[in-house]
Amino acid sequence: MRKFLLVGRTGVGKSSFINATFGSYIAETSEYEACTKIVEHYAYKSPLGDVSLIDTPGLAEDDEACDEAYLSLVRAKVNLAQIYATIYVTRLNETRFSPDEKRTLRLLTNRLGAHIWNRSILVLTFAASVPEHQQEIFAEKRSQQIFDFLQIVTREQDRHKKFQGFEQSWLVDNIVENWTSDGSPILSMLTD
């Protein structure tokens, strides 16, 4: 069973991504308030093999103490050595690289370990909120900012093991139906 750990700030669409993958509402989501408070494993049988998607509480909801508590919970509930890949979820339709996002990336690296990025996927949500002709350029900008910052924070931890880049990067919209005809991108991670 391949296990995927979903992480990112509050409200970016981690739980919604799970629902979109399963095609049903199993992970609670919320428009107006930080929603997921626990770490939950969702198992999924696909024609290509079994998958587990692990939902986690969003970071940057409140102060750093809150983030620390959530990350302790992740460490207690998840065997990180068994994670096949980390899925970092963030919104495509943000035009600034926010201090919240930097703090989130730094805390994830410091508290869970730089190795969580060894096999990692970037999921850019709210894609349909960006005009089609700008999606490519937004995606490039967002991933470059995140890549550059992760190189810095991983090098701080161990200068020989700096971030090598995301294995894949997916543009998704969890809410706008039929946004892509390709089905769940998770399936592409099961075929090798």
Ligand X SMILES: Nc1nc2c(ncn2[C@@H]2O[C@H](COP(=O)(O)OP(=O)(O)OP(=O)(O)O)[C@@H](O)[C@H]2O)c(=O)[nH]1
Residues in touch with Mg ion (CB under 5 A): 14-15, 35-36
Among the listed residues 4, 10, 105, 186, the single contact to ligand X using CB under 6 A: 10
Number of residues that bind ligand X (CB under 6 A): 21
Cα–Cα nearest to 90, from 155, 149, 46, 23:
149
Identify residues 119-148 at the interface with ligand X (CB under 6 A).
Answer: 125-126, 129
From the centroid of its chain, how far is CA 111? Answer: 16
User: What amino acid is encoded at 72 in this protein?
Assistant: S
Is the CB of residue 92 less than 8 Å from the CB of residue 171? yes
Distance CA 9, CA 12 (A): 6
Is the CB of residue 118 less than 8 Å from the CB of residue 163? no
**Is 11 among the residues that bind ligand X (CB under 6 A)?**
yes
Among the listed residues 3, 4, 5, 16, the single contact to ligand X using CB under 6 A: 16
CA distances from 96 to 107, 125, 129, 169 (A): 19, 15, 16, 19
**Is 104 among the residues that bind ligand X (CB under 6 A)?**
no
Among the listed residues 173, 184, 185, 189, the single contact to ligand X using CB under 6 A: 173
Closer of 145 and 174 to Mg ion (Cβ): 174
Identify residues 27-56 at the interface with ligand X (CB under 6 A).
Answer: 29-31, 34-36
Closer of 12 and 150 to ligand X (Cβ): 12
Answer with the entry of ligand X, Mg ion, none that 31 interacts with (C-beta below 5 to 8 A by kind): ligand X
Residue spans of beta strands (DSSP E) within 48-187: 49-55, 83-91, 120-125, 168-171
Closer of 63 and 192 to ligand X (Cβ): 63
CB of 9 to Mg ion, least distance (A): 10
Is the CB of residue 171 less than 8 Å from the CB of residue 135? yes
Which residues of this protein are in contact with ligand X, per CB under 6 A? Answer: 10-16, 29-31, 34-36, 57-58, 125-126, 129, 173-175
